[in-house]
Amino acid sequence: MTAPTTLLRRRFVTLTALRWLPTGLVAPTFVLLLSARGLSLATIGLLTALYSATTVLSELPTGGLADVLGRRPVIVAAALVSAASAVMLAVSTTLPWLIAAAIVMGIARALDSGPLEAWYVDAVHAVEPDADLTPGLARAAMAESVALSLGALASGAVVTWAPMPTSDALVIALSLPFLLKAALTLVQLVFVARWVHDDVAATTSSEAADATAGGRVARIVANATATSRDVPHAIGRGVRLAVTRHTLRRLLLLTAAFGAALAGIELLAPSHAADLLGGTADAAGPYAALVTAGFLGSAAGSALAPLAGRIARRSSRAAALAVAGAAVSLAVVAAPFAGIAAAAFIGFYVLLGVAFPLTQTLMHGEVTATERATMLSLNSMALQSTAIVITATLGALAVMTSTAAAFAVIAVVLGLGSLTLVRWPQNPTPASAGTTSATTAEASA
């Protein structure tokens, strides 16, 4: 690995950590905050479904935008919109405002689904075409999990120790993590401005030399016109690729299963913890600690992903076994004993941490730079599409039947998802001549 590639990997890992640290602050408290605002579990599920639906509807346009304009402007826009949504959630006390906040949060998620990773992959390919992507993606996944865990731990401490009311106020203790998220997201922007540069939508040297106001306006108009024409083409290329290549279809189905599992556990686990620990206020601190442990487990799993691929002799086989194990753990999270449920919760994230970098490597081996961000958006779209169904129905199912039954449903869905990796082709078709031989070998190893 060359020095430029090592530098790119370090920056990618750092930017990934900065991206997910603010999210870690709000992950344990989102459902608890909405509960404190008086929403039922079924209503929270519908609100989360609205967030997912907004994300799905925005995914392909924003992914195509990143492929046409470049990664940096989309990353910046995502951070700004995310900060705005965090502030809205922190201070919203009525359902209409919470609905608006969920919509803004969905737009931010769609903008953020892929441009940073696409920038890293393209930048590495530009300087070292034969570089193996798996170590960088695994370290980034590990950094993501560590950042989420640190954020979750800090969130629990802030909510527990803040001298703030727990309800019936504009800003309550559970609001503080969202305000901190907005502030940390702005810190992320500083590093993005310094480190992220791409040439996907670079102008020509003559255009860059034109510093007149008229020239700048003309370039803006020209870029807007080109974007309106090229974004649909970028979207179409990504959709055709997913439709015509069976390996990508299988990965999208697996991602949909991931979406069901993650949306389900994020909806059900906080309320299950509150039931086991005696209420929402009493559960906030312990649940934040549990989420921290889960994210750290995911980081450990990501660190083990390359080793798991070598031991299983195929990345697809290692990922399939990890996903199947995660499905079993997910079902056990519903246990009526806090210790068993907590251990299963952590095990679920460890095994998912192993699977994710391996499946991402398989996906990157199937696409070119021109479709990469769009394909990542399709990936996120598959994840959010099942999240819509799960969050809209699972809360009501849990109320009508039991929490254990609801957990069983998402465990079965995830278990079926593992079957998409069975009999994975050993020699997948390279996405292009620019796709690395090392990546292709890893995808079939």
- In the chain, the largest separation of any two C-alpha atoms, in whole Å, equals 69
Task: Report the predicted TM-score, pTM, of the whole model to 2 decimal places.
Answer: 0.70
pLDDT at 244 over 60: yes
pLDDT at 149: 86
Query: Vertex 376, ends 80 and 190: CA angle to 5°?
Result: 30
Per-residue CA distances from 233 to 55, 68, 223, 238, 370 (Å): 20, 10, 15, 9, 11
pLDDT at 431: 42
The model's confidence at residue 214, banded by pLDDT at 50, 70 and 90, is: low
Cβ atoms of 377 and 63 closer than 8 Å: yes
pLDDT at 165: 83
pLDDT at 430 over 80: no
pLDDT at 443: 32
Higher-confidence residue of 352 and 443: namely: 352
Residue with tokens 């459902």: 31
The model's confidence at residue 413, banded by pLDDT at 50, 70 and 90, is: very high
pLDDT at 437: 31
pLDDT at 151 over 50: yes
Most confident of 169-178, 265-274, 357-366: 169-178
Higher-confidence residue of 233 and 252: namely: 252
Cβ atoms of 181 and 11 closer than 8 Å: no
Q: What is the mean pLDDT of residues 340-348?
A: 95
Give me the chain's average pLDDT, please. Answer: 82
Cα separation, 4 vs 153, whole angstroms: 34
pLDDT at 442 over 60: no
Cα separation, 171 vs 92, whole angstroms: 9
pLDDT at 411: 96
Cβ atoms of 158 and 37 closer than 8 Å: no
**Mean pLDDT lowest for which of 10-24, 170-184, 275-289, 420-434?**
420-434
What whole-number percentage of the chain has pLDDT above 70? 82
pLDDT at 435: 33
pLDDT at 131: 80
pLDDT at 88 over 60: yes
- Which residues contact residue 389 at a Cβ distance below 8 angstroms, ignoring those fewer than 6 apart? 49, 260
Q: What is the mean pLDDT of residues 203-225?
A: 48
pLDDT at 150 over 80: yes
21: which DSSP letter? Answer: H
Most confident of 53-62, 125-134, 203-212: 125-134
| Residue 232: other Cβ atoms inside 10 A | 14
pLDDT at 444: 33
pLDDT at 182 over 60: yes
Cα separation, 51 vs 101, whole angstroms: 9
Model confidence pLDDT, tens digit, residues 64-81: 676 677 788 889 999 999
